[in-house]
Amino acid sequence: MDSALLLELSINGACTGMMYALVAAGIVLIYKTSGVANLAQGALAMTGAYVAWIASTLVGLPMWIGAPLAALVMFGVGALIERLAMRRMIGQPLIMAIMLTMGLEIMLRGVMPGLLGGTVKKIDIGIPNAPIIAGDILINRTLLIGGGVSFAMIVASILFFNSRLGVVMRAVSDDQTASWSVGIRVERAIAVAWGLSAVMATTAGLLWGATQGVDWSLSLLLVKALAIAILGGLDSLPGVLIAGVAVGVIESLATGIIDPVIGGGSREVVASAIILATLLVRPHGLLGREHIERV
Amino acid sequence: MKRRTFLTAAGAAMVGMQFPIRLASAQEKVIRFAMPQDFTRVYTFVTVEYSQGQRDYISMVNAKGGVNGYQILADVTDHANDLPRALEAYERAKAQGALLVDPLSTPVARALVPRATADKINLITAFSGRSDAADGETFPFVFPMSPNYWTQAGLLIDFFRQQDGDLKGKKICFVHIDTPFGKEPIPVLEALAAKQGFTVQAFPYTPPGNDQSAIWPQVRRAKPDWVVFWGAGVGQTVALTEAIRNGIPMNRVSSSVWLSESDMDVVGRAQAAGVIKLEPCASGRSPKLIQDIIKTVIEPGKGAGDKAKVGTAYYNYGVMMAALMVEGVRKAFEKAPNGPIDGPWLNAGLTSISNFEAEGLIPPTTVTTTDHQGGGRCRIARWDGAKFAPATDWFSANQDVVWAEIKKSTDAFKASGK
Amino acid sequence: MFYRRAGIRHTSYRSERRLWPLPFDRGLVAAVVVLLLVAPLVVERLYLIGYLMPWIIWSTAALGLNFLMGGAGQIHLGYGAIIAIGAYASTHLARAGVPFEIAALGGGLASAVIGSAFGATALRVKGLYLAMATLAMQSVVDFLITHVPWISGGGQATLTVPPARFLGADLRVDLAAYYVALSVCAVVTLFVLNVGRSSFGRALAAVREKDYAAAVIGVDPFRYKLLAFWVSSFIGGVAGAVLAFCYYRAISPDQFHLDLSIQLVAMVIVGGLGSVLGPFFGAALILFAPILLNQAVGALAAAFGLGISADLRAHLPLVLYGALIMGFLLAEPLGLAKIYDNVRKYFLVWPFRHAPR
C-alpha cells in the first residue's frame, strides 16, 4: 500500500470528519443543556445554507456580509424554535421532545425548497478549487479550510463554556431544578444553546453547500453527525472533536484499503462496526459523562 | 381551548380531504396519464424540470386540439420515493382509468412491474427502473423508451474508442454510487473490456455521495485514460468538483444522462468545460419542438413553471418522453380509431412507434413488441462552458453486448417464476 | 355517556379481568372488527389496496416495535432491517419450495435469531446509545443485502415473490392477501393485549421503569430485555413476510432502509408509547397524512387556478405534515392514543368534569 496515498487519505478524512463534527457539535450543545437529541440539526444546516443563498444571491450581498447575516438570522430561528416548541415540552417524556424535533426536521425540509425551488443552488464562499500540492500529496483546499473553520468553531464553543454565560449553561446541564432554585433562567440558557447550535449548523451548511450545492440533501448530514456525537459522548464537545477526526480518518482509510478488496463501499459498515465496538467498551461514548443511576 | 381547537381542526381537515377524490373528469373525451413522481426526496434534482417539460408539451398538444379530438390529462402527484405512497398513487391512477403511469423512480418502477403487468397498464420507466425491461417479450407493459444504463455505458465506451482509435491497454476508471443502480453498468463494462482489451477499475462511493474525498485521490493515482462517473443528484456535482480538485483533465471525464445545467452552475461553469455526457435528446431551446412550446404555451403565460428552465437538459427529457407517449396515442388511434381506449390499446400504439424524431428533438426511435428501448441511440455532448454542445451525431453501438446482458437478466427473471 | 359504567357489577374475578370490562368498549371493538371483515366487499379496490392493506401491515410492524419500545423501554432504530430479514428469509424459503405458512414463521425465526443476537451485544448500552447501536445493525444488514447478489436477487436487485397459498387461498388474489394480513394483525394485537396482563408483561414493565430496581426485586433485566428483543423481532419478521407476500410482491433493498425504521419509530411515538391502540393511530397518521395533504393541496391549487408554483405545490404538503406531527405532540405530548383516552375519559364521567372519588 502506498504510504503517500494513506497520508493523503488521512488528511482528507480528518478534515471531512471535522466538518461532520461541526454538525455534531450543535447536537451536543443542545443535548448538554436540555437533554434532547436534536434530530433537526441537518435540516437546520440546510435552512442556514438557504438563508445564506438568499442573502448572497437573491439580495446580492457579498459573502462576508451574507454569511454572518445568515448566522445571525439562524440564531434567531434557533431561539424561536426553543421558545415556540421546545419550551412547551419541558416536563414531558424526553422521547416525545425528540420526536418533536423530527417533526421540525420534516417541516424545515419543505419550507425553503418550497419557497425557493427544489433544484440545487450554487453557493460560493470564495475558496478556489486548486489544491495545495506537497510533493506527491495533494491537499484539498476546501476541505482544509472547512476543517480548520470547524475546528476553530468547536474550540471556540469549548472555550465559551468558561465564560459567564457558559458557566450558567454548565450549571443548567448539571441540574435544571437546582439551577432554577439559585435564580438561573434555565429557559434562556436553553434558548441560547439552540441559537448557538443553529449558528454552527449554518456554518456547516455553508461549508458543505460550497462543495455539493444547496438542496434538501444537506439535511442528510444528520445521520453521520448523530453517529459522531454519540461516539464522542453526547455531552462532550472535546469528545465530538476526537470522534469526528477518528470517524473521518477511519472511513477514508477503509475506502482506500478495504474497498478494492471486497469491491463495495465498506466505509459505512466499518464506521458502524467501530462505533458499535467502542460503545461496548465505553457505553457512554469516548468522553461522555457516566450517568449515575439511583434505584 | 387552543388544544381542542387544533385537534378539532385537524380532525375536520382529515375528514374533509376525503371528498374531492372522485370528482375527476367524467366521460369527456379525455386520455389520462398518471405521473406520480418524486418531487421532495431522492429525485428532486430532476423531477421539477422533467415534469415541467412533460406538462408544457401536453399543454401544447391540448392547445392544438389534442389527439383525434381527445384531450390529454396529465395527473401529476408527489410520491416522495416512498413505496406505500407510490402504490396508493398507482391504485388511484388505475381506478381513474389512467392508460399509463410514469413514476420516474427506480425503486418505484421496479416494485410496480408485477402490478402493471397484471393490470395491463403501461409503465413508463424512462432513465429508471429495470434495465432488462428493454425486452418487450418478457415485460410487455414496461416501456423504458430511452437508452438504458447498459446502452449508455456501451455508447460511452464506443465514443472513447472513436477518440483514441483503439482501447487496447487503456485504463478506464468507473466511479459509481454504491447502490444497485450504480453497479448496473459493471457487467457491460467488463464484457467490453474483455472484448476490446482495456481495463476497468471500479470505485464505489457511499450514497448519497456528498463526501467523495477519499475516492478521487485513488482515481488520480490510478492515472486513468478515461473516467466515467455514475450517480445522480448531489453525487454528480461532488464527483465533478472532486475531479477538478484532483486535476483530472475535464475532457477525459464523462457521465451518463444525469448531468444538467444546474449541476454545472454548482461546479462552476467555466471550470467544468470539457466534461462529457450522454444526450438522449437535444438540449437547449433551438429544436423546433421547444420553439413551438415557447410560442404556444410559454409566451401566453400558460407554462407549468419557471420560464428560465425551458430548454434545460432535464426539461427536454420531459418533452421527449411526453412526445413519445403522445405519439403512442396517435399510433393507437391509427390502429384502432374506435378504441376501446384502455391499457392494451395504448400498448399497441406505443409498440408501433417507428422512426419518430419529434421534429428533430430526439434520435429516430422505433419501439416494437420486442424492443422497448427504442433503438438505444444517443449522442455525446461536451460542456463548453455555456451549454452542452453535441460532439457526435445520433449513434448506437455495442448493442450485442447490451442485449446479451438483457437476455441474461430476463432469463433469471423468468426462472424466478414471476 | 356511551361508556356507561353504571349497573355493571363484576361477580367473579374472571369478569373483572376481562380485556374490555365495559360493554361499550366491547361493542366498539366488535364493530371495528366487523367493519374490517366486510371492508373488501364494500369499499373499492383503491381503498383496500391503497389504504387498508398498508395500514394493517404497518400497524402490525409498529405493534412489534412498540412491544420493545413501549413495553420494555428499549429504543430500536434498526427495525427496518428486522423486517427486511423477515421478508428476504421468507421469500427465499418460498422460492426453495417451502409453503407460505412455514416460510412466514421461518422469516420470523430468522429475524428473531439475528435480531436478538444484535440485541445481546447492544444491550450493554442504554437510551440514545442503544439507538446508535441498533442503527449500526441497520447499516450492516443493508450492506449485506445490497452486496450479496445471492440475497438481493442479482444485478437488478429485485426479488420477485413466488406465487404462494395460505391454507389453499392464492395470495396473489387481493382478497386473500387482505384477510391473511388482517388475521396476522389480529393475532399480534391479541398477543400484545394479553402480554400486559401476564407475569412476562409485568416483568418487562419493571425493566422499563428502572432496570436496577427490577434486578433488586429479582427480575433479571438482561434476560427480559433479550426476550423482548426476541419477541419483537419475531413479530417484525412475520410482518416482513406478510409485507413481501401480500403487499409488495417484489422486494428490493431500498424498501427496507433507515427511512422505514424511522417511519416506524415515528408511528410508535406519535401514536403513543406503550399503548396498543397507539400504533394503529400512528400508522394511519404517518402513512396517510402525506397522501391526503398532497391531495388537499392539489385540489386547492386546482380550485384556485394554480396560484402557486410547482415547487411550493410539491413541498407544502411536507411542511404541513411536519407541522401536523409537531401540532399533535404539542397538543398532547403522550401521543394520539392519549387523545382517544382523554375523549373516552371525558365521556366516562359525563356530565361531570371528573370522577367523584
Q: Are residues C50 and C26 in the same domain?
A: no
Query: Which architecture characterizes domain B27-147+284-377 according to CATH?
Result: 3-Layer(aba) Sandwich (3.40)
B chain contacts of residue A211, beta-carbon cutoff 8 Å:
210, 238, 241
Task: Report yes or no on C356 lying in a domain.
Answer: no
Task: Report yes or no on C38 lying in a domain.
Answer: no
What's the pLDDT at A294? 64
How far is residue C335's CA from residue C325's CA, in Å, rounded to a whole number? 10
Task: Report yes or no on C354 lying in a domain.
Answer: no
Beta bridge partners of B276: B254, B382
How far is residue C241's CA from residue A295's CA, in Å, rounded to a whole number? 41
Q: Are residues C288 and C344 in the same domain?
A: yes
The candidate with the shortest Cα–Cα distance to C139, out of A20, B327, A274, A191, is A274
Task: Report yes or no on C52 lying in a domain.
Answer: yes
What's the pLDDT at A86? 93
The per-residue pLDDT for range C335-349, each reduced to its tens digit, is: 999 999 999 988 888
C-alpha cell at C152: 438481493
Q: Do B417 and C287 touch (CB under 8 A)?
A: no
Task: State the pLDDT confidence band at B9, using cuts at 50, 70 and 90.
Answer: low
Instruction: Reduce the DSSP state of residue A196 to 3 states and report it.
Output: helix
Task: Report yes or no on C58 lying in a domain.
Answer: yes
Q: What are the distances in angstroms from CA B231 to CA A120, B213, C46, C184?
A: 15, 15, 35, 40
The per-residue pLDDT for range C199-232, each reduced to its tens digit, is: 999 999 999 998 889 999 999 999 999 999 999 9
Q: Does domain B149-279+380-415 have CATH number 3.10.150.10?
A: no
Give the residue on A whose Cα is nearest the Cα of C266.
A99
What's the pLDDT at C19? 87
Position of cell 366487523? C34
Q: Do C121 and A280 touch (CB under 8 A)?
A: yes
pLDDT surpassing 50 at residue B230: yes
Residue C290 Cα, gap to closest chain A Cα (Å): 11
What residues contact residue B193 under an 8 Å CB cut-off, 6+ apart?
Answer: B172, B199, B200
DSSP string covering A13-29, please? HHHHHHHHHHHHHHHHH
H-only helix segments in B268-306: 288-293
Q: Are residues C166 and C70 in the same domain?
A: yes
Q: Do B88 and C50 touch (CB under 8 A)?
A: yes
Task: State the pLDDT confidence band at B16, using cuts at 50, 70 and 90.
Answer: low
Q: Worst-scoring range by mean pLDDT, A261-265, B126-130, B332-336, C141-145? A: A261-265
Residue A72 Cα, gap to closest chain B Cα (Å): 25
Q: Do B20 and C295 touch (CB under 8 A)?
A: yes
How far is residue B157's CA from residue B151's CA, in Å, rounded to a whole number? 10
pLDDT surpassing 70 at residue B27: no
CB-defined contacts A:B, below 8 A: 116
How far is residue B174's CA from residue B184's CA, in Å, rounded to a whole number? 11
Q: Are residues C258 and C344 in the same domain?
A: yes
How far is residue C177's CA from residue C245's CA, in Å, rounded to a whole number? 8
Give the residue on B whose Cα is nearest the Cα of C148.
B180
What's the pLDDT at B287? 95
| Cβ pair B203, B186 in contact under 8 A | no
B chain contacts of residue A85, beta-carbon cutoff 8 Å:
none
| Cβ pair A96, C328 in contact under 8 A | no
Q: What is the mean pLDDT of residues C149-167?
A: 85
Q: Are residues C304 and C329 in the same domain?
A: yes
pLDDT surpassing 50 at residue B22: no
pLDDT surpassing 90 at residue C30: yes
Select from B7, B52, B178 the Cβ nearest to the Cβ of C310. Answer: B52
**pTM value?**
0.93
Per-chain mean pLDDT for chain B: 91
Beta bridge partners of B368: none
For chain A, list the strands marked E by DSSP.
Answer: 132-134, 137-139
| Cβ pair A17, A255 in contact under 8 A | no
Task: State the pLDDT confidence band at B6, using cuts at 50, 70 and 90.
Answer: low
> Which secondary structure element, helix H or strand E, spans residue B73, and what is its range?
strand B71-78
Task: Give the A window 73-132 contacts with B, CB below 8 Å.
Answer: 109-110, 113, 117-122, 129-131
pLDDT surpassing 60 at residue C12: yes
Task: Report yes or no on C324 lying in a domain.
Answer: yes
Q: Do C309 and A102 touch (CB under 8 A)?
A: no
Task: Give the B window 20-79 contacts with C, CB below 8 Å.
Answer: 20-21, 39-40, 48, 51-52, 77-78
> Which secondary structure element, helix H or strand E, spans residue C170, and what is its range?
strand C169-170
A chain contacts of residue B205, beta-carbon cutoff 8 Å:
255, 265
ipTM for the complex? 0.92
Question: Could you list the residue range(s) of the whole structural domain that residue C8 is in?
Answer: 1-32
Domain total in chain C: 2
How far is residue B297's CA from residue B293's CA, in Å, rounded to a whole number? 5
C-alpha cell at C204: 418487562
What's the CA dihedral at B395, B401, B405, B407 to 10 degrees?
90
The candidate with the shortest Cα–Cα distance to C116, out of C134, C136, C143, C90, is C134
Q: Do A293 and C311 touch (CB under 8 A)?
A: no
C-alpha cell at B8: 378539532
Residue A253 Cα, gap to closest chain C Cα (Å): 18
For B178-301, list the strands marked E by DSSP.
Answer: 199-205, 226-230, 253-255, 276-279
Cβ burial, residue A46 (10 Å; 0-12/13-18/19+):
buried
pLDDT surpassing 80 at residue B108: yes
Beta bridge partners of C251: C159
How far is residue C301's CA from residue C317's CA, in Å, rounded to a whole number? 12
Cβ burial, residue A162 (10 Å; 0-12/13-18/19+):
exposed
How far is residue C55's CA from residue B84's CA, in Å, rounded to a whole number? 10
Residues of chain B with CATH 3.40.50.2300: 27-147+284-377, 149-279+380-415
Beta bridge partners of B32: B73
Q: What is the mean pLDDT of residues B380-386?
A: 95
What's the pLDDT at B26? 46
Across A205-230, b (16+ Cβ under 10 Å) vs e yields bbbbbbbbbbbbbbbbbbbbbbbbbb
What's the pLDDT at C306? 60
The per-residue pLDDT for range B74-107, each reduced to its tens digit, is: 999 999 999 999 999 999 999 999 999 999 999 9
The per-residue pLDDT for range B272-285, each reduced to its tens digit, is: 999 999 999 999 99
pLDDT surpassing 50 at residue B21: no
Q: Are residues C144 and C6 in the same domain?
A: no
Position of cell 458502524? A272
Position of cell 497520508? A7
Task: Report yes or no on C357 lying in a domain.
Answer: no
> Which secondary structure element, helix H or strand E, spans residue B327, and what is its range?
helix B313-335
What's the pLDDT at B2? 58
What's the pLDDT at A70? 96
Instruction: Reduce the DSSP state of residue C159 to 3 states and report it.
Output: strand
Per-chain mean pLDDT for chain C: 91
Q: Do A212 and B234 touch (CB under 8 A)?
A: yes
Give the residue on B whose Cα is nearest the Cα of A114.
B40
What's the pLDDT at C106? 97
**Number of residues written out for chain B:** 418
Position of cell 456525537? A229
Q: Are residues C1 and C52 in the same domain?
A: no
Q: Phi/psi of residue A179, each to 5°?
A: -60, -40
Average pLDDT by stretches of 10, chain A with 295 residues: 86 94 96 92 96 93 93 97 92 89 95 89 84 83 92 95 91 88 92 96 94 90 92 92 95 87 79 85 86 67
Task: Report yes or no on C230 lying in a domain.
Answer: yes
Position of cell 458499535? A276
Task: Give the B window 179-208 contacts with C, CB below 8 Å.
Answer: 179-180, 183-184, 187
**Cα angle B201-B203-B205, degrees, rounded to a multiple of 5:** 170
Across C232-271, b (16+ Cβ under 10 Å) vs e yields bbbbbbbbbbbbbbbbbbbbbbbbbbbbbbbbbbbbbbbb
Q: What is the mean pLDDT of residues B141-155?
A: 95
Q: Do B7 and C339 touch (CB under 8 A)?
A: yes
pLDDT surpassing 90 at residue B253: yes
C-alpha cell at A55: 442573502
How far is residue A225's CA from residue A243's CA, in Å, rounded to a whole number? 10
Q: Phi/psi of residue B175, each to 5°?
A: -95, 120
How far is residue B64's CA from residue B53's CA, in Å, rounded to a whole number? 17
Select from A89, A99, A230 the Cβ nearest to the Cβ of C270. Answer: A99
What's the pLDDT at A129? 79
